[in-house]
Amino acid sequence: MTEISSPLGSLRPSAPRIAPIADVSDEVATILGGGINSPDGTPLNIFGTIAHHPRLLKRFMNFAGLFLNKGLLPAREREIVILRVGWNCQSVYEFGQHTLIGERVGLTIEEITAVTKDIGEHDWNARDTALLKMSDELCADNCVSQQTWNTLSRDWKEAELIELVMVAGTYRLVSGFLNTMGVELDAETPGWPER
């Protein structure tokens, strides 16, 4: 297996280390509920890969699904965090999937592209800037600085602050999984934006 460089220079597998399941068992079909499929009807590659471990898939769907379906955060802001974490982790799969979700919840292509650049290169509002800084700090040092925390605390309630940090951490974990497993982009999923 060869490896390819990400835009920041780290190596990524060029092919899946563990391929998505070929046959969906009844158990996996029940866990996925038929709602997270590629255009061809098969599970998205992330879920098809995790499906080798159905018990983990079930718990992952409940945990990560909370953020996307029943979380406290506005979807646009949640997606800014996920996209920035995906970029920081150089997970093209994560970034591509959440480019699609981000567009659906109101992010523009210009904003999605700006997530891949220095914060000062785009006219982010103060609230978005704090989310980007939080994501950067967690990815760089596993801790949000006091200055960024103070800024976030002005706009977000305690439960929302907890969710923001958990979203960033969860998608950092997911990005590492995707990178390590070499999960390939699903059909019709974009890669990195033009910079």
17 and 54, same domain (yes or no): yes
Structure confidence by residue, pLDDT tens digits, 43-86: 999 999 999 999 999 999 999 999 999 999 999 999 999 999 99
Task: Supply the pTM of this predicted model.
Answer: 0.93
98 and 172, same domain (yes or no): yes
Instruction: State how far the Cα of 94 lies from the Cα of 179, in Å rounded to an integer.
Output: 9
90 and 117, same domain (yes or no): yes
52 and 80, same domain (yes or no): no
Q: Is residue 58 part of a domain?
A: yes
CB atoms closer than 10 angstroms to residue 141: 9
For residue 23, the Cα-to-chain-centroid distance in whole angstroms is: 26
52 and 103, same domain (yes or no): no
23 and 89, same domain (yes or no): no
The structural domain count of the chain equals: 2
pLDDT-based confidence at residue 2 (cuts at 50, 70, 90): very low
Structure confidence by residue, pLDDT tens digits, 141-179: 999 999 999 999 999 999 999 999 999 999 999 999 999
CB atoms closer than 10 angstroms to residue 91: 25
16 and 110, same domain (yes or no): no
Instruction: State how far the Cα of 13 lies from the Cα of 179, in Å rounded to an integer.
Output: 7
47 and 105, same domain (yes or no): no
